[in-house]
Structure 1
Amino acid sequence: MSLWDSYRNLSPRTRLFIGGGVMAYAAFGLLASDQIERFLGWTATDEDRKRLREEQLPRVSVIDRREK
């Protein structure tokens, strides 16, 4: 029996609690990640952002083509 079939065999109330738990876990991760990064010192400095802008962004060159 596959995992999906096992999930579908659960009662609707149990599936609701599992779905709600997954959403609560994801929401907590989104809300807490910025604070955890600040606590661990992993925030980007202005110098990091400038270097990223200069080195990592692709450069676009315009080439004029002659019409035939």
Structure 2
Amino acid sequence: MPVWQWYKGIAPKTRLMLGLGVMAYAGVGLYLSDKAEEKLGWVATEKDKEELRNSLPKIIPIEKRDR
């Protein structure tokens, strides 16, 4: 049975609870991962951020001339 058919077959209230549970799990994961990074010392320094900015390609718009 494909997952989509299983999902459509469960009660709407159960689907709502399942969706809210997944969103809550993701939110807690995002919050805890930030705290873990701070405790482990993996926070990006200003030097790291500057190196990242310099490594990104620069996009320069060129205006099209009328013919």
TM-score, normalization by structure 1: 0.71
Letter in 1 for 2:19: G
* Residues in 1 aligned to 2:61 and 2:14: alpha-carbon distance in whole angstroms: 57
Runs of 4+ in 1 over 3 A off after TM superposition: 59-63
Identical aligned pairs, as a percentage? Answer: 48
Root-mean-square deviation (CA, aligned residues, Å) is 2.3
Higher gyration radius (CA): 1
Q: Across the two proteins, how many residue pairs are aligned to each other?
A: 64
User: What is the aligned partner in structure 1 of residue 38 from structure 2?
Assistant: 38
Q: In structure 2, do the counterparts of structure 1 residues 10 and 51 end up closer, same or farther at CA, with 3 Å as the change threshold?
A: same
Q: In structure 2, do the counterparts of structure 1 residues 8 and 61 end up closer, same or farther at CA, with 3 Å as the change threshold?
A: closer
Structure 1 spans left out of the alignment, 5+ residues? none
Q: In structure 2, do the counterparts of structure 1 residues 13 and 60 end up closer, same or farther at CA, with 3 Å as the change threshold?
A: closer
